[in-house]
Amino acid sequence: MNAVSVRGLRKSYGSAEAVRGIDFEIRTGEVFGLLGPNGAGKTTTIEILEGYRERSGGDVEVLGVDPQRGGRAWRERLGVVLQSSSLYPNLTVRETVRTFGGYYERPRDVDEVVELIGLAEKAGSRVRTLSGGQKRRLDLGLALVGDPELIFLDEPTTGFDPGARRTAWETIRNLRSLGKTILLTTHYLDEAEQLADRVAVLRAGEIVREGKPSELTAASALTEIRFRRNGTVVVERTPEPTQRLHELIHEFGGTEIEGLEVRRPTLEDVYLELTE
């Protein structure tokens, strides 16, 4: 059963094509990462799935419903974190969660949500006094308060410090273990690598690669070997690293090879290769 299925999705603004016919499917219970540089069409795609924008072409189903016709019952099953934080500055954290919880038929317990997003100590503080990262966590809390099946996260950790990102990742992993389906856009590769079961890389409105993070890195078969020869750094890329190392060991006559590094390509390398 697919939570989301997208076929031949197109979106143009005037003569500019932001999304040029993409296909992907998100299985129930999966974390799917939509990866790409700014302007690749990530937000356009996610906002079409959320029902904010009308598509120019193609078929889209989200939880079995066309988002352009999604009604109240459909919205009960969705959680949304928009790209920019949008909150009432004069409400407290707890009041904000309670307000949004009230829009759902079966909301989660307010204090439980505040606890889950790690803002228990700030529960009585006004939103205007929160840091950017704390506001972002509150955004996540509002996406969870209706206990949704499917959660859209548009760059959920942009602007977080490393500690806050790890905490957010932990929360997202917990959601996954509860059986939630998650669509995540990000331009942080480590985030996609850490969280996503599968990723699609978008470039200029097209999906240029799709698969498990490990498959993506495997698909780029070149391994990088770095070392120093007579003091200068040499970088080589090879499909046969073991063979090449043999040669190098032979060349250096068994002495220590200075600055030797052998590195599998990271998702970042693949990503840069694909998007540049």
Binding site for another protein (CB under 8 A): 50, 52, 72-73, 75-76, 78, 80, 82, 84-88, 90-91, 95, 99-100, 102-105, 142, 146
Least distance to another protein, CB of residue 126, Å? 8
Strands (E), the chain: 2-13, 16-27, 31-35, 57-62, 78-81, 150-154, 181-186, 198-203, 206-211, 223-229, 232-238, 261-263
Closer of 85 and 157 to another protein (Cβ): 85
Closer of 40 and 201 to another protein (Cβ): 40
Closer of 140 and 201 to another protein (Cβ): 140
Show the CA angle centred on residue 75, arms to residues 156 and 99, nearest 5°. 70
Least distance to another protein, CB of residue 15, Å? 16
**What is the rounded CA–CA span in Å between residue 163 and residue 154?**
20
Least distance to another protein, CB of residue 83, Å? 9
Closer of 125 and 238 to another protein (Cβ): 125
Least distance to another protein, CB of residue 199, Å? 24
